[in-house]
A and B are shown apart, each in its own frame.
Chain A
Amino acid sequence: MKKTLHILFFLFFIFGSLQVWAKTVTVCNSCSVKTIQEGINQASEGDTVLVKKGVYREFNIIIDKSIILLGENLPTIDGEDKGEIVKIVSDNVTVDGFKIINVGTSYTSDYAAVRVIKRNGFLIQNLELEKLFFGIYLEKSNDGKVLNNNIRGDAVKEYNSGNGIQLWYCKDVEVRGNNVQNVRDGIYLEFSDNIKISHNISRNNLRYGLHFMFSNHNIYDYNTFENNGAGVAVMFSKFVEMNHNIFKENWGTAAFGLLLKEINDAKITENVFKENTVGINIEGSNRIDYKNNDFISNGWAIKVRGACYTNNFENNNFLYNSFDISYNSNLNDNKFDRNFWSNYTGYDLDKNGIGDVPYRPVKLFSYIVNRTPETIILLRSLFIDIIDFSEKVSPVFTPDNLVDENPKMKTINHDRS
């Protein structure tokens, strides 16, 4: 009995001390603590700094202990264009529910609204960022989460604007549910592995909706990339998975839904590419599986630039693209099988749902357009149809082994819910 009491006492004591230990510091315009930095200074490890609604004109707020910085009713931190606003230099920091505006622009250092430097276990969520240079900048930081932030930039020129969410040398970070608009690159990754990027919306960005380089073993799913200057670019990465994304309306002379450069062993499944100038532009990418994607009304569904080997295109829908596939050489080592092509004109006598005549997705005209781009103006002309037909009968300029032996007769129904 006495022993139990002792234990109870002991537990009570511990909880009690924890309660005391995790105190809350309240910051508001009429409180005794008037600035966020002061609140952070007064707090100790594990505390919560609660910031009430109001405008706080501060910059260079340094969070150097593991606290929760919590905004109530979206308080505004106005950096007044003076520089960086929130800098996290401690492990296990949470920043939640702020509106951060007016990040300074500099050509020598990348000022960010929120920056994490070499720390782990951060959680950055529910932020509204406006008038920014860089948005959320993660630097050599691991095991963190960036959730449900709303980043709205006003970038006009590439050289004096920054990225929405930038990851540099990070590992095991989750980026989910963010909405990034009008910045240079919506989400940018460099040398970052095991990152999961999902349910984000990235649109109207100057350059790329999503841009990553030298980042392996990453997963991108359920994102929407819309109307970005040059779409999405993924370069020099291995073992990337891109599933259930939507790439649409990336229009322009150098715009792609998805640009793959030196990507190996990736999986690209269940994506929708709609109304892009080029759906996927592939360069030097090997062993990639393209399955169950929809390519709808693109200028070029897939443009293969060369040095692409052992890629697998299966079960995709190619609907009303001006060009289905374009090759710039007549060598082919990629496999096309069981896709649906809306331009297919064959028949199915044995009624097994697969066309009896193989389909040749590369047209002579796409080869001509590659050589002389101005000829694009002759698209869909009768003369072009005639030469395409003759090339189809006996291929000379296009790869003669590039055929889909089993073209589907009906649109493949992908469950997109």
Chain B
Amino acid sequence: MLKILKYSFYDLMRSRWSYVYFLFYLLLGVVLLFLNNDLSKAVITLMNVIIILVPLIGTIFGVMYYYNSREFTELLLAQPVKRSSIFLGQYFGVATSLSMSLVIGLGMPFVFYGIFNSSAIWDFSLLLVTGAFLTFIFTALAFVIALRNENRIKGFGYAILLWLFMAVIYDGIFLMSLLYFEDYPLDKFSLVATMLNPVDLSRVLILLKLDISALLGYTGAVFQKFFGTNFGLILSSVLLIFWVVIPTFFIWRIAKRKDF
């Protein structure tokens, strides 16, 4: 598996796309910092980018990579290599290279700007870690979709739909249900609903750092416990890990049973 991971990783490192991705983040970081001249505002803008863009790129890139390397995958399948290691290796290769582009691309401008001397360092590291998590989650989901669909058009369609659902539609439904059931106690429901969507989950994780004063304005014991203590931070992180592990498990299972 490690060999395949290494191969996928180097393959991607050589490819144009990870450079484009890397340069995009580099540019974004530079523009944000040096045109804005304000670290706190940059971190907030960055949060929007990470929450929306990272899942999108992860999804598209994951699907694209799977379909593109299909012939090579078939070649590998003919060799005495374990199936799970082929697919998991590819998956980890893609996800690692994507997160590296993200972390290095965004990290470099901020390091040069002097993030280490700033109090925003923790907010910023949390942003990067969340971004890396989102990359892993959405690449895994993309692989699951691609493995399930032989038809490329269908696969891409589902992948984009998945992103659209997680990033926008889910919150719309969430908001509507909160407004519709406003007469009922909703704090448990809203926390659970947040946990069920990795985009929301990472958003809340970052909010815990950025907007804690607003979040504490709501009178509810469950919210209070969640936002007021480290409980929220720990629970969100654990759930993010679950969000990586579960789709990865699906990749492994589908890959094992799939006919080629």
Residues of A within 8 A of B (CB): 251-255, 275-278, 297-300, 319-320, 322-323, 342, 368, 371-386
B211 touches A372 (CB 8 A): no
Starting from the known contacts A275-B213, A378-B200, A381-B171, 18 additional A-B residue pairs (CB-CB under 8 Å) come to A297-B40, A299-B213, A322-B211, A322-B214, A371-B182, A372-B178, A373-B217, A373-B218, A374-B220, A376-B214, A377-B223, A378-B174, A380-B44, A381-B203, A382-B168, A382-B171, A384-B171, A385-B48
Closest to B38 in A: A342
Q: Mark B75-106, 1 if CB is under 8 A from A, else 0.
A: 00000000000000000000000000000000
Tell whether A383 pairs with B175 under 8 Å between CB atoms, given A342-B41, A371-B182, A377-B191: yes
Is B73 at the interface (CB under 8 A from chain A)?
no
Q: How far is the CA of A251 from the CA of B229 in the complex (A)?
A: 13
Q: Which residues of A contact B186 (CB under 8 A)?
A: 372, 374
Closest to B186 in A: A374
Smallest CB–CB gap between B192 and chain A, Å? 11
Q: How far is the CA of A83 from the CA of B254 in the complex (A)?
A: 78
A378 touches B175 (CB 8 A): yes
Closest to A299 in B: B214
Q: Which residues of B contact A251 (CB under 8 A)?
A: 212-213, 216
Smallest CB–CB gap between B211 and chain A, Å? 5
Tell whether A372 pairs with B217 under 8 Å between CB atoms, given A320-B40, A377-B194, A382-B167: no
Q: How far is the CA of A322 from the CA of B215 in the complex (A)?
A: 9
Closest to A374 in B: B186
A372 touches B182 (CB 8 A): yes
Is B108 at the interface (CB under 8 A from chain A)?
no
Q: Which residues of A contact B210 (CB under 8 A)?
A: 380
Tell whether A277 pairs with B179 under 8 Å between CB atoms, given A374-B190, A379-B207, A383-B168: no
Q: Which residues of B contact A381 (CB under 8 A)?
A: 171, 200, 203
Q: Which residues of B contact A276 (CB under 8 A)?
A: 213
Is B157 at the interface (CB under 8 A from chain A)?
no
Tell whether A368 pairs with B179 under 8 Å between CB atoms, given A251-B216, A380-B207: yes
Q: List 24 A-B contacts (CB under 8 A).
A: A251-B213, A253-B217, A253-B224, A277-B213, A277-B217, A299-B214, A299-B215, A299-B216, A300-B217, A320-B40, A320-B44, A322-B214, A323-B214, A342-B41, A373-B217, A374-B223, A376-B214, A377-B194, A377-B200, A377-B223, A380-B210, A382-B52, A383-B168, A385-B48
Q: How far is the CA of A180 from the CA of B210 in the complex (A)?
A: 30
Q: How far is the CA of A383 from the CA of B203 in the complex (A)?
A: 12
Q: How far is the CA of A22 from the CA of B44 in the complex (A)?
A: 68
Please provide the 4 A-B residue pairs with the shortest distance between their CB atoms, ordered closest to farther.
A299-B214, A322-B214, A383-B171, A299-B213
Query: Given B44, B51, B219, which contacts A254 in the complex, CB threshold below 8 Å?
Result: B219
Q: How far is the CA of A251 from the CA of B219 in the complex (A)?
A: 12
A371 touches B179 (CB 8 A): yes
Is B172 at the interface (CB under 8 A from chain A)?
yes
Q: Which residues of A contact B168 (CB under 8 A)?
A: 382-383, 386
Smallest CB–CB gap between A381 and chain B, Å? 5
Is B255 at the interface (CB under 8 A from chain A)?
no
Is B47 at the interface (CB under 8 A from chain A)?
yes
Q: Which residues of A contact B219 (CB under 8 A)?
A: 253-254, 373
Q: Which residues of A contact B215 (CB under 8 A)?
A: 299, 376-377, 379
Query: Given B182, B214, B220, which contacts A379 in the complex, CB threshold below 8 Å?
Result: B214
Tell whether A297 pairs with B179 under 8 Å between CB atoms, given A320-B40, A377-B204, A379-B207: no
Q: How far is the CA of A276 from the CA of B214 in the complex (A)?
A: 8
Q: Which residues of A contact B172 (CB under 8 A)?
A: 383
Tell whether A277 pairs with B214 under 8 Å between CB atoms, given A253-B219, A342-B41, A374-B187: yes
Smallest CB–CB gap between A304 and chain B, Å? 15
Q: Mark B197-210, 1 if CB is under 8 A from A, else 0.
A: 00010011001001
A379 touches B190 (CB 8 A): no
Q: Which residues of B contact A376 (CB under 8 A)?
A: 214-215, 217-218
Q: How far is the CA of A299 from the CA of B172 in the complex (A)?
A: 23
Smallest CB–CB gap between A16 and chain B, Å? 66
Q: How far is the CA of A149 from the CA of B34 in the complex (A)?
A: 48
Report which residue of B44, B172, B207, B214 has the largest number of chain A beta carbons within 10 angstroms of its beta carbon: B214
Report which residue of A277, A323, A385 has the largest number of chain B beta carbons within 10 angstroms of its beta carbon: A277
Q: Which residues of B contact A385 (CB under 8 A)?
A: 48
Tell whether A322 pairs with B213 under 8 Å between CB atoms, given A371-B182, A380-B203: yes
Q: How far is the CA of A298 from the CA of B212 in the complex (A)?
A: 9
Report which residue of A275, A319, A373, A377 has the largest number of chain B beta carbons within 10 angstroms of its beta carbon: A377
Q: How far is the CA of A368 from the CA of B171 in the complex (A)?
A: 14
